[in-house]
């Protein structure tokens, strides 16, 4: 299996780029943010739980998130591999992911981080709010909190995979096409 983690702060373009990578490499895209939004849209118990945290820009508790991700991976036993977007978001989730994949005789192939300047991120998210309908995108206070959570809990996930020689950083600045091309180059070099 080829399992890629598309990593980076909120608004760094993970969802946009993941859609393009999926097409080229025929991997399954799994976005925990999208999964939560689907559950919230259907007012499921999981969605209602997630909403308590997402509306404040906080992380949804690990047991909820890891359980949901595990179910999703199990739904595609024939997959060639996964592109994970929005997961793992802390070290506990990284360890949980390694365990889930090793149970499938697999592992994380590579984490690729998109580097984007903080002010650019805030502007992108506010712009996305105009069309996304996401309440967590429309409020600058919530956005700033998401960025704080990223710095305090998520950024360290890069170091976790770097220790295993599996982490790479590329610039997430510039046009969408430019960034896609950087990703293609990076992924082609590891496959």
Three-state secondary structure call for residue 11: coil
DSSP label of 58: P
With respect to ligand ADP, which residue has the nearer C-beta, 41 or 189? Answer: 41
With respect to ligand ADP, which residue has the nearer C-beta, 90 or 110? Answer: 90
With respect to ligand ADP, which residue has the nearer C-beta, 156 or 190? Answer: 156
Order the strands of the 167-171 sheet from edge to edge.
28-31, 81-85, 2-7, 110-115, 167-171
CB 97 within 8 A of CB 7: no
Q: Closest separation between CB of residue 10 and ligand ADP, Å? A: 3
Q: Assess whether 169 carries a catalytic annotation.
A: no
Q: Assess whether 14 carries a catalytic annotation.
A: yes
Please identify which of the residues 20, 56, 72, 134 carries the catalytic annotation.
Answer: 134
Distance CA 120, CA 22 (A): 25
Residue 1's contacts (CB-CB under 8 Å, 6 or more residues apart) are 79, 80, 81, 82, 101, 104, 106, 109
Q: Assess whether 146 carries a catalytic annotation.
A: yes
* Residues of this chain that bind ligand ADP (CB under 6 A): 10-11, 32-33, 36, 53-54, 57-60, 65, 86-87, 89, 93, 136, 146
Please identify which of the residues 56, 72, 128, 168 carries the catalytic annotation.
Answer: 128
Residue nearest to ligand ADP (CB): 33
Q: Closest separation between CB of residue 86 and ligand ADP, Å? A: 3
Q: Which residues are catalytic?
A: 14, 89, 128, 134, 146
């Amino acid at each position: 299996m080829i399992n890629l983690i598309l990593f980076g702060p909120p608004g760094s373009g993970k969802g946009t780029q993941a859609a393009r990578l999926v097409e080229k490499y025929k991997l399954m895209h799994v976005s925990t943010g999208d999964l939560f939004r689907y559950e919230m849209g259907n007012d499921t118990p999981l969605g209602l739980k997630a909403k308590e945290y997402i509306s404040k820009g906080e992380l949804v508790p690990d047991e909820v998130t890891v359980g949901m991700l595990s179910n999703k991976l199990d739904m595609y036993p024939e997959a060639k591999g996964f592109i994970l977007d929005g997961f793992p978001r802390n070290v506990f989730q990284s360890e949980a992911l390694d365990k889930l994949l090793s149970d499938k005789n697999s592992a994380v192939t590579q984490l690729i981080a998109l580097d984007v300047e903080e002010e650019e991120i805030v502007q992108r998210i506010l712009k996305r709010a105009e069309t996304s309908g996401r309440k967590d995108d429309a409020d600058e206070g919530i956005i700033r909190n998401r960025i704080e959570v990223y710095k305090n809990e998520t950024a360290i996930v890069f170091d976790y995979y770097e220790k295993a020689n599996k982490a790479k950083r590329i610039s997430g600045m510039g046009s969408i096409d430019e960034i896609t091309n950087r990703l293609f180059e990076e992924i082609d070099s590891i496959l």
